[in-house]
Amino acid sequence: MDFRHLPTTVAAVASTAADALLVVVAGAKPPGDLPAALTRALQAALKQGDLVLEAGRTLYLGQLRGVKAPRVAFAVAADSTPRCLKSALAQGFALLKGLGGKHVAVWIAGAGALDAAHAEALATAGGDASYLYRHTKPSAGPSPKLARATLLCTRADEAAVSSGLQRGAAIVAGVTLARELANRPGNHCTPTHLAGQAQELAKTMKLEAEVLGRKEIEKLGMGALLAVAQGSSEPPRFIVLRYRGAADDPPVVLVGKGITFDSGGISIKPAAEMDEMKFDMGGAASVLGTLRAVAQLKARVNLVGLIPTCENMPSGQAVKPGDVVTSLSGKTIEVLNTDAEGRLILCDALAYAERLKPRVVIDIATLTGACVVALGHHRSGLFTPHDALAEALTRAGEGALDPCWRMPLDPEYDEVLKSNFADVANVGPRAGGAITAAMFLKRFTGKLRWAHLDVAGTAWKSGAQKGATGRPVGLLTHYVLAQANGV
């Protein structure tokens, strides 16, 4: 979707040329900043009971006398916060996208001054509304007709709105890329395909790409990554993507888990919902999406994406429970559960990240079902021993409407990872599983400023809305932009 803004006046809203006019009413009282024709229509709808000023309510009116747009719709927001406005905008776009119009103009009434966050909320809501997966589904039909959204604003708000739409459009592009990659089935999105997409992104966005195959990975000594990969006929890849936007500054490094399909290996998963394990490369997808967004915005920061990618499959060559493998760091790992494979490929990538002398390292992974039990599907799990980093990532998540929640890393949780046969076991007991997984990764971060995002509950949806969400591209992009601005 194309996002634009148009400075206007209250009186001129009714004469805006568009295929549809969406009026978002912020709050439980009729707003005072509506032109006469829209005020009359809203008052009549309220009087007749066709609309109630409650969050989530919408009304389609068609053509109104005194309004140039041939389609008029109302959507109600609980208040004027970006979070509530995004929800109302999503409802409004859903109401209009099945109709014939291509261009929707949006007027937010009762909100007062608009800022960049309001504009970004419009863009991200529009991006969600216009996304349609069709790569392996020809019957999905054509794209939604809505192709352009114009946010109407006052001249006083124009600069902030323009900035917010620019940022929002870049995040939407990154989220769309992440969703598209994660939604593709495992027989399409293999490690080789993921590496090819990274190289294509590098060409498009002027990044630097390096893809290591099995021989190069063996030469590096990434024994943990190779152990996970050895059960599959699909060869592993280690992807390094670089965006250079700030001379010789230390880079921000993002590490994304890229398990393109996770059967659990010898510790095989139950059959129910195993198909959703194609989403187990959601962390890798979010790294690619963030690089795309940051490059589009030409941020003054150095950003590196590291993606270890392979399949986790059972076979005669697969790693077995009880096997001991040697990681890139030199630490040995007793593999007690082959379904705890994400931390194995990540630990090698984290050890590699030290070579880059980074400013900060953040790994992103659909790592544990335990995190879903703890936090559900609204907030991603955040683990870091660094308070300032935790605050910065939390702030970025709130600003992007892509929230996370900090979880503990008390040293007592590390005790359960002791092994009689290796330096560390790859799992502990079931209790506190998301925390012990993070504690495992922490052992491979040395002196790094490091954070771990467990997105197992947020990277995709199940059920009737099954599909990738593209999270946490918004959170990561906000964080990287803050680093570029020295925040």
Catalytically active residues, by annotation: 269, 343
Contact by Cβ (8 Å): 348, 446: no
Q: How far apart are CA 472 and CA 282, in angstroms?
A: 9
Q: How far apart are CA 199 and CA 57, in angstroms?
A: 45
User: In 281-406, which ranges are E strands?
Assistant: 302-312, 323-326, 332-335, 360-365, 380-383, 404-406
For residue 376, the 8-state DSSP code is T
Q: How far apart are CA 455 and CA 74, in angstroms?
A: 34
Sign of CA pseudo-dihedral 201, 203, 205, 207 = positive
Q: How far apart are CA 460 and CA 137, in angstroms?
A: 19
Pairing of strands 258-262, 302-312: parallel
Q: How far apart are CA 110 and CA 80, in angstroms?
A: 8
For residue 136, the 8-state DSSP code is T
Half-sphere exposure of 164 (CA within 13 A, CB side): 23
Q: How far apart are CA 139 and CA 128, in angstroms?
A: 20
Q: How far apart are CA 241 and CA 154, in angstroms?
A: 41
Q: How far apart are CA 36 and CA 389, in angstroms?
A: 50
Q: How far apart are CA 197 and CA 397, in angstroms?
A: 26
Q: How far apart are CA 284 and CA 288, in angstroms?
A: 6
Instruction: Give me the torsion for CA of 211, 214, 220, 223, rounded to 10°.
Output: 130
Contact by Cβ (8 Å): 186, 38: no
**Cis peptide, bond prior to residue 142, ω within 30 of zero:** no
Count of other CB atoms within 10 angstroms of residue 324: 16
For residue 308, the 8-state DSSP code is E
Contact by Cβ (8 Å): 94, 23: no
Instruction: Give me the torsion for CA of 480, 484, 486, 487, rounded to 10°.
Output: -30
Which residue has 């509304």 as its token pair?
Answer: 129
- Give the CA distances from residue 181 to residues 178, 259, 286, 287, 426, in Å, rounded to whole numbers and listed in that order: 5, 12, 9, 11, 28
Contact by Cβ (8 Å): 216, 238: yes
